[in-house]
Amino acid sequence: MSYIAKSPWVIHYDGSSCNGCDIEVLACLTPMYDVERFGIINTGNPKHADVFLVTGSVNEQNKEVVKQIYEQMPEPKVVVAVGICACSGGVFKQCYNILGGVDTVIPVDVYVPGCAARPEAIIDGVVKGLAVLQEKRDNMVKGIDAPAEEPEAAAEEEKTEEGGEN
Amino acid sequence: MAKRTVIPFGPQHPVLPEPVHLDLVVEDETVVEAIPSIGFIHRGLEKLVEKRDYSQMVYVIERICGICSFGHGWGAAAAVEGAMGVKIPERAEYLRTILHELSRLHSHLLWLGLLADAFGFESLFNHCWRVRETVLDILEKTTGGRVIFSICKVGGLNKDIDNETLKEIVETLEGIKEEIKELTDVFIEDDSVKNRMVGVGVLSKEDAEELCAVGPVARGSGVVQDMRLTNNHGVYGELDFEPVIETAGDCYARCKVRIGEVFQSIELIAKAVAKIPEGPVSVPVKGNVEGEYMLRLEQPRGEAFYYAKGANSKFLQRMRVRTPTNMNIPALVKTLQGCDLADVPILILTIDPCISCTER
Ligand code: SF4
């Protein structure tokens, strides 16, 4: 269990999901599961968010959108991939317009499996994400760069590529 | 003439859980044109027929949409059954009808919540979703899943629901009727809610017919169109019901149609449970698909179309789905012209858009 000083705000983006996972993400916010009692609020603005919940896999059209939202979020930030589509492509993996899981374009910290992912699982994923967030924050305070993982390296490459285009 | 500005709406927008992108051309506060651009959720799953055989395809088609998933599974299974000439047992037809109405119930309650959220009525949103959880509990108890059920298969259903449970379902629904009534009264009577909806986004009957609007959008404009009446799926013919029709054509009318349908679904479930016969819930299906079949089914959002064609193989040659939102987008673009910028989210919501259905 992680303890965090500040209320974590989440932003939700629907990659190419079937809606199943999205309505479960929303269900987390409603009275039955009510994550708001932990101070978790769903915001529409990436600049306010600490946790990025992505459902569904990425395709040609939305990969730029996912990247943009990720880049607009301030550090430290955590990405949670919700549902098997976001983890790996899931049932749609072999579709012609699916590039794969979210980790093909941005680094992912927590993977929540399930089709559809249950609200309990999503909440668990966010809580796990909070531990990562705290760790990243501590590292930032100490001035240590986060250990370079492979997906992050991939994101760096993409970033420079995009910079080149503009 | 006032200066024209283009305001991008979406794809990531707080009001919609799904990505849709509109370029809104505005003059002062009035929208003069709305240009939709799509493709954010396109997966290309119809082409998966080449890699998945017909029984697996039912589960893929079911995942077109997580809100009306049961209907999609049913449509796909029924289209294949039609092409193969399989007749499913009576009890399975009844159970499919009951489950479909339960999905409609959960879909409409979800939509009412989102609508309340769109005009900033947070507590109403939360209450709608709280009541919806009761329906989800029923679905989870009977099918095992909350939003994706995977209970429909070619030849019937994967599992039976015993009569005891069916009776419980009817009782539970009767129990929440009062609660739903309290919530829907707010939508119908509250002045602040009415202010946002009455007279906003009027779609005339002629336009609705010309632009081929379907489902609650068409019914809210006075078009009598409900695929359940065509009686080619389920047992709706034996349940004796009238479609809910409103004539004003504005957001308020569309909201009232859906509210009417919430209670209608509860009634239909009770009627179906009273009549359900005993018997098996599936028949064994063997062999290849030969021939083609087309089916129109009433989803919570309107008419959906399913087509299956086989060429004597386990793999279908073509599986085509046309979904309701696709047909409602022209009507949406029409109503957006000339509306206030502040009304755009509500207008988009009242067609109950399901983008993942539209783009597949
Ligand atoms: S994991 Fe399943 S429920 Fe979630 S978006 Fe993908 S297909 Fe839909």
CATH number at residue B346: 1.10.645.10
B340: which DSSP letter? B
Q: Which residues in chain A touch residue B110, judged by CB atoms under 8 angstroms apart?
A: 23
- Residue window 35-74, chain B: list those with CB within 8 Å of chain A: 39-45, 47-48, 51, 59-60, 63-67, 69
Q: What is the Cα Rg of chain B in Å?
A: 20
Decide if B24 is inside a domain.
no
Total number of domains constituting chain B: 1
Say if residue A162's pLDDT is above 50. Answer: no
Nearest CA in chain B to A63: B40
CA dihedral angle for residue B136, residue B137, residue B142, residue B145, rounded to 10 degrees: 60
Contact check, Cβ <8 Å, B43/A115: no
The residues, ordered by sequence, that sit 6+ positions from A100 with a Cβ below 8 Å of its Cβ are: A57, A58, A88, A89, A93
Decide if B1 is inside a domain.
no
The pairs formed by B158-164 with CB atoms below 8 angstroms and a separation of 24 or more are B158/B282, B159/B281, B160/B91, B160/B95, B160/B281, B161/B95, B161/B98, B163/B276
Q: Strands A78-82, A110-112: parallel, antiparallel or unpaired by DSSP?
A: parallel
As a whole number of angstroms, the distance between CA B311 and CA B136 comes to: 39
B142 CB burial (10 A radius; 0-12, 13-18, 19+):
buried
Q: Residue B43's pLDDT is what?
A: 79
As a whole number of angstroms, the distance between CA B196 and CA B21 comes to: 23
Ligand 1 pocket residue status of B66, Cβ below 6 Å: yes
Tell me what the mean pLDDT of segment B59-78 comes to.
85
Query: Which parts of B202-355 are beta strand (E)?
Result: 289-299, 302-313, 316-322
Contact check, Cβ <8 Å, A22/B60: no
Using CA atoms, how far residue A32 sits from A119, A143, B34, B339, in Å, is 10, 40, 37, 36
Q: Residue B15's pLDDT is what?
A: 63
| Contact criterion met (CB below 8 Å) for B63 and A18 | yes
Q: Residue B169's pLDDT is what?
A: 87
Instruction: Tell me the pLDDT band of B145, cut-offs 50, 70 and 90.
Output: confident
A164 touches chain B (CB under 8 A): no
DSSP secondary structure of B104-164:
HHHHHHHHHHHHHHHTT-HHHHHHHHHHHHHHHHHHHHHHS-SS----EETTEESS---HH
Say if residue B143's pLDDT is above 70. Answer: yes
Instruction: Tell me the pLDDT band of B271, cut-offs 50, 70 and 90.
Output: confident
Decide if B75 is inside a domain.
yes
Compute the distance from residue A86 Cα to the ligand 1 centre, in Å.
Answer: 8
Instruction: Tell me the pLDDT band of B1, cut-offs 50, 70 and 90.
Output: low
| Contact criterion met (CB below 8 Å) for B250 and B197 | yes
Contact check, Cβ <8 Å, A116/B51: no
For chain A, the domains span 9-165
Decide if B16 is inside a domain.
no
Instruction: Give phi and psi for B319, each to the nearest 5.
Output: -130, 120
ipTM surpassing 0.90: no
Tell me what the mean pLDDT of segment A32-61 comes to.
82
Task: State the CATH class of domain A9-165.
Answer: alpha beta
B235: which DSSP letter? T
Decide if B19 is inside a domain.
no
Q: Residue A156's pLDDT is what?
A: 42
Higher per-residue confidence, B101 vs A143: B101
Decide if B247 is inside a domain.
yes
* H or E, element range at B25: strand B21-27
The tokens describing B34, both together, are 């709305």
Higher per-residue confidence, A162 vs B14: B14
The residues, ordered by sequence, that sit 6+ positions from B57 with a Cβ below 8 Å of its Cβ are: B48, B49, B76, B80, B316, B319
| Contact criterion met (CB below 8 Å) for B217 and B249 | no
pLDDT tens readout for residues A84-132: 888 888 788 878 878 878 888 888 888 888 888 888 888 888 888 888 8
* Candidates B40, B61, B130, B139, partner chain A, best to mutate (most A CBs within 10 A): B40
* Candidates A9, A11, A19, partner chain B, best to mutate (most B CBs within 10 A): A19
- Looking only at Cα atoms, what is the longest distance across chain A? 47
Q: Residue A152's pLDDT is what?
A: 45
Say if residue B31's pLDDT is above 70. Answer: yes
Residue B148 alpha carbon, nearest atom of ligand 1? 3
Structural domain for B260, as ranges: 46-359
B4 CB burial (10 A radius; 0-12, 13-18, 19+):
exposed
Instruction: Tell me the pLDDT band of A157, cut-offs 50, 70 and 90.
Output: very low
Higher per-residue confidence, B335 vs A148: B335
The residues, ordered by sequence, that sit 6+ positions from B275 with a Cβ below 8 Å of its Cβ are: B94, B235, B238, B239
B148 touches chain A (CB under 8 A): yes
Say if residue B353's pLDDT is above 70. Answer: yes
